[in-house]
Structure 1
Amino acid sequence: MGNQMNDQQLLRYSRHILLQEIGIEGQQRLLDSRVLIIGLGGLGSPAALYLAASGVGQLTLCDHDTVDFSNLQRQIIHRTGMAGQSKVVSAQAALREINPEVECVAVPIRADEALLRELAAQADVVLDCSDNFVTRYAVNRACLARRKPLVSGAAIQFHGQVAVFDYRRDDAPCYNCLFPEDSEAEELRCATTGVFSPLVGIIGTLQAAEALKLLIGIERGLSGKLLSVNALDMNILRSNLSKDPACRTCSGNSVRAIAVKQENS
């Protein structure tokens, strides 16, 4: 537990403190927490902004890319004047304006598996806000190895999804259970297929919400579940996932996890 909150912090976070589920103790947990965000694009932008505003003590920002003019349609953490600059440097500047109390650690390189394991080991929760399967599988393996909760998000065209894999639990399914690495799932890219701007805000904000609850210790949420959002029809579907006993990443072999129950929400 860190230092007791001062008057300015009590005022800044007062609307959290008023919530029975959070209170002073929960807010203090956020102040003492460390979150790793992989990808500072469409998903990482709103996630980082809300985590910083909420008072998460340290955010480690990992992205090798630079701000492109085409990013500005949806990657709201970046400003027009930052085009051509490192995304993590751009994000750092914006987050300092939001909440100068939050320590932002910039990692402006493409992280390999060794670095991902090192970064995951230092975090309390990991957010995968990347845009490709290679990174998602690597982040999944790193979080599984370090037993760190993983909040995974994806968005393309008008479709998005969020899932939480809490690797502190032995019965938790992993990302590879849901999307096997040797499957033939098509990988779509924003650059060639497009993406609806507010959708990434919806998904990234949901990731922030799930991360905050994990840090505070609120158990109600998406752990072991997949939330799918169709922003065209504004239809939301929640599926319960089960651990795949044949998964090659967390159990031995890889077969798609079964959605055992679906419920409209």
Structure 2
Amino acid sequence: MNILSDQQYIQYSRTMLLSDIGETGQLAIMNSSVVIIGMGGLGHLVAHYLAAAGVQHMLLIDHDVIELSNLPRQLLFTAADIGQTKVAVTKRVLNRAYPEINIDTIAEKVTAQHFYQLIKRKVTKPLVFDCTDNFKTRQLINQLCVEQKLTLVSGAISGYQGQLFCI
């Protein structure tokens, strides 16, 4: 995409008022590709905010299904979604709110054997967001992003504490 439509110009006008973004920056956001691994308390919000910001290409990866205990923390989900995969519901909700977005999903655990092949097949030159909740998976994602020279943003929240880093 090289030019904003009139509707997009109005929709993203507040973002484009920021001196370091402008129209060029908004177009860059809209042309970017992201992979978000983990659709829990952090990941589903990252997906929602990136969709609202105009990111047009997303790959969501999570093997988990929605449970009753998720509802107070994972606000895209409702009681009617219990038992469905988090990636499928996130895709459905975001596509309803942002119909122009292209979302692919993988309802599987991330493994070394298929991580990069899946990303390469679905999304080109992605920015990877690690929103998982266990150290073993975080280590694997970090290792694979370093090997493949992919930018990694890793975030975690637990209780009243959080951490964020970018490689």
TM-score range, shorter chain: over 0.9
Shift in Å, 1:142: 1.2
What does 1:49-68 align with in structure 2 at a 5 Å threshold? 49-68=48-67
Q: Distance in 1 between matches of 2:159 and 2:40?
A: 15
Q: Distance in 1 between matches of 2:125 and 2:81?
A: 28
Residue identity (%): 38
Q: Distance in 2 between matches of 1:89 and 1:21?
A: 34
What does 1:208-247 align with in structure 2 at a 5 Å threshold? none
Shift in Å, 1:79: 2.0
Give TM-score, length-normalised by structure 1. 0.60
Shift in Å, 1:119: 4.1
Q: Distance in 2 between matches of 1:10 and 1:57?
A: 15
Could you tell me which runs of 5 or more consecutive residues in structure 1 were left unpaired when the two chains were aligned. 166-265
CA contact (8 A) 1:120 1:146 kept: no
Could you tell me which runs of 5 or more consecutive residues in structure 2 were left unpaired when the two chains were aligned. none
Q: Distance in 1 between matches of 2:78 and 2:47?
A: 15
Give TM-score, length-normalised by structure 2. 0.93
> AA paired with 2:50?
L
Structure 2 counterpart of 1:148: 150
Shift in Å, 1:124: 2.5
What does 1:1-265 align with in structure 2 at a 5 Å threshold? 2-121=1-120, 122-165=124-167
Q: Distance in 2 between matches of 1:29 and 1:115?
A: 28
Point out which structure has higher relative CO (alpha carbons under 8 A, 6+ apart).
Answer: 2
Q: Distance in 1 between matches of 2:147 and 2:76?
A: 31
Q: Distance in 1 between matches of 2:118 and 2:129?
A: 12
SS in 2 for 1:114: coil
1:138-195: CA deviation from partner (whole Å, max 9, x where unpaired): 1001110111111111111222111111xxxxxxxxxxxxxxxxxxxxxxxxxxxxxx
How many residue pairs are counted as aligned between the two chains?
Answer: 164
CA contact (8 A) 1:33 1:124 kept: yes
SS in 1 for 2:141: helix
Q: Distance in 2 between matches of 1:94 and 1:114?
A: 30
Shift in Å, 1:46: 1.0
**CA RMSD between the two structures:** 1.3
Shift in Å, 1:97: 2.5
